[in-house]
Each structure stands twice: as structure tokens, then as C-alpha cells.
Chains A and B, each alone.
Chain A
Amino acid sequence: MSMGVVQMNLLIIFFLLCNQFGKVWYLVHQWLGVYTADPLTLVDHFIQFGTSAGFPKSQCSFMHLIWFATSWVIWKERNDRLFRTKENSYVQLLENIRLLSYSWHREKFVTSYFKFHDWCQNPFLCLGMR
């Protein structure tokens, strides 16, 4: 039996591909300079995103943190738009993602010291990964 329809979860379209929030992911990709193929499931996307920078598995967790930050910011923004009719600009959303991931990383690597500005410029460099 052939599968006539690509059974794509609508959540994915909402979170990753739609006009509203696809752009946020696009900006994050631009910031990091890495790209992923269109995923079939959210979990796929999460895993792909982790390896997309080409780092060994042990360092994927860094990319996952950014994935968490991005989806968290999108969820909050979605709720703001839906329930509070408040809308942040895309630039602001990207800034929030950078801030969140920065603070989470600082918590992990207390010893390493880098400024938020450096983090925005090149997070890989901050972690000594590139």
C-alpha cells in the first residue's frame, strides 16, 4: 500500500515552517552559520540540529541548549501573541534566544569567561570549539 500523504505533524509546521516562526529558526541558523534539512518530526529536528554543526556527539549538548532556548522563546512569543496581543520583533526574539543560551552556558562553564557580546558574535569560538 502506498503512502499517499506525507503525514506531517501540524505542530512541526507551526513551530518550524510557518511564516510566523520559521523566521526565528532561520535567524538562529544564520547566527550559528549552520543549516538543517527540513525535518519530518520535531524529535528529528532536535537531533539533526544537535549534529548540524559537525561536532562530535559529546558536544552536541551545546547545540541542544540553543534548540531549547529557541523553542522556549517561540512558545512564549506564541502565547504573548495569542493571549496578550503583544508582539516582539524578530530581532528581539533572537536577542532573547542569545541571552537565554548565554546564561545557561555560563551556569555550566563557570570557569570560562566570555562576554555576551562575544557570545553573539561567535558562540563556537567562546566555547573553544572553532
Chain B
Amino acid sequence: MNIRDGVGSVGGAWFPENVRIKLDNGSQALFWMDRWLDEVPLQVWFPHLFDLSENKWLTVAQMFDLGWDEGGEAWKWRRRLWAWEEELLVECRLILLTVVLQVSGNDVWMWLRDPSVGYAVRGAYRILTSGTLISHDAPLVSADLLWRKNIPLKVSVFAWRLFRNRLPTKANLFCRGVIHNEA
């Protein structure tokens, strides 16, 4: 049993799910593989692009320096992209528009369960043995707004899952260990 992957423990992959990198200059986070932008690494959101990329192991800072705008050097591919792959790339670049890197300061790894103290074996042990690995919920919508007589139940359920990021999207299934990589 590999505890790092959380096999056999409550809540699936408890370690990677509770670690985030807080980006400053982007020199510590791997662009494709680390969870620096979202709960899901970019390689999961854009598996095709990742597959084709020649720059799989570059950090965020390196990719940024090469240039990830349209036609930037960061995008080096094994072969020419098809039109639909170009569209994926447009979507990927749209996401990257929200990124602002700092010049000074280093990236910091964070333990989400205890951001002030950081990771400690004692704390992690307590979480694992308490048996309740509840995820940090997003601010929620009050029940009377969500559950209403005049909208179909399936729509309410859908919205409930959407707000809690519980929809069975590929990225979510990956996060929860239902599928592995490119299924």
C-alpha cells in the first residue's frame, strides 16, 4: 500500500490533493505536471497538447520566458498541430492570460490543511486517522436558492455538484482516482 497515493485510505489521493504550490516567480513548479494553476495539472486538462509538447519538463518560469503568447517559443510540438488542436491551444492560452508572475521571491509549497504551520507528520496523521477527510468546500449557495419546487430536481442536483466541483468531468475523475491519465 502506498500511503503517498492514499491507496486504501479515506479520501483518495490525500497527499497531492492537499498540497499546492504558491507561485511567485514560477521557478519551482513544473508547467505541465504540477498543480500550480488549479486543482488539476495542465497535463490533465490538455492531455493532447501535453502529449505533443517537446517541453514537458520545463518550469512555469522557463515556459514564460520562452513566451506562451501566440507563436511563442514555449510551444514546441512533435509535429504540426491539427486545427482542433490549435483550438485547444487557444483555450490553454486564454487560461494563461490570468497568470501574473512576480520577479522576486520563490515559489512556496503549501499544505492546505494547515497553511500557517505547514506540513507536519503529526497533523497529517491526525487527519488520516480521524477518518474524515472532508475537502475544503467552496463558499456555498444557501439551500433555499438551490432546492426549489419549480425547477426539476436533476437541475438542482446538477447545480449543487457544479458549485462543489463534483461534476464527473475528466479532470475530476482523474483527481479522485477513477481514471488514470488518458482514459
Name A residues whose Cβ lies closer than 8 Å to a Cβ of B.
Answer: 1-11, 13, 15, 17-19, 41-43, 46-47, 50, 61, 64-65, 68-69, 71-72, 75, 104-105, 107-108
- Contact, CB under 8 Å: A46 / B163: yes
Q: How far apart sit A8 and B96, CA to CA, in the bound complex (Å)? A: 10
Query: A4-B23, A6-B100 are contacts. A11–B90 as well, Cβ < 8 Å?
Result: no
- Contact, CB under 8 Å: A8 / B38: yes
Residue B158 is within 8 A (CB to CB) of chain A in the complex? yes
A41 partner residues in chain B, CB cutoff 8 A: 138-139
- Contact, CB under 8 Å: B95 / A10: yes
- Contact, CB under 8 Å: B95 / A11: no
Contact of B163 among A5, A10, A42 (CB under 8 A): A42
Q: How far apart sit A42 and B162, CA to CA, in the bound complex (Å)? A: 8
Name B residues whose Cβ lies closer than 8 Å to a Cβ of A.
Answer: 22-26, 36-40, 45, 87, 90-91, 94-95, 98-102, 105, 107-108, 138-141, 145, 148-151, 155-156, 158-159, 162-163, 165, 167, 169, 171
B139 partner residues in chain A, CB cutoff 8 A: 41, 43
- Contact, CB under 8 Å: B45 / A71: no
B40 partner residues in chain A, CB cutoff 8 A: 10
- Contact, CB under 8 Å: A17 / B150: no
A69 partner residues in chain B, CB cutoff 8 A: 155
- Contact, CB under 8 Å: A68 / B159: yes
Supply 21 A–B pairs (Cβ within 8 Å), ascending by A.
A4-B23, A4-B24, A4-B100, A4-B101, A4-B105, A5-B37, A5-B100, A5-B101, A6-B98, A10-B40, A10-B95, A11-B169, A18-B94, A19-B94, A42-B138, A64-B145, A68-B155, A75-B158, A104-B151, A105-B150, A107-B150
- Contact, CB under 8 Å: B100 / A61: no
B100 partner residues in chain A, CB cutoff 8 A: 4-6
A108 partner residues in chain B, CB cutoff 8 A: 149-150
Q: How far apart sit A9 and B166, CA to CA, in the bound complex (Å)? A: 13
- Contact, CB under 8 Å: B38 / A2: no
Query: A4-B22, A61-B145 are contacts. A43–B38 as well, Cβ < 8 Å?
Result: no
A61 partner residues in chain B, CB cutoff 8 A: 145, 148
Q: How far apart sit A3 and B115, CA to CA, in the bound complex (Å)? A: 14
A18 partner residues in chain B, CB cutoff 8 A: 91, 94
Query: A43-B140, A68-B155 are contacts. A6–B99 as well, Cβ < 8 Å?
Result: yes
Tell me the minimal C-beta distance from A31 to chain B in angstroms: 19
Q: How far apart sit A104 and B155, CA to CA, in the bound complex (Å)? A: 11
B165 partner residues in chain A, CB cutoff 8 A: 9, 11
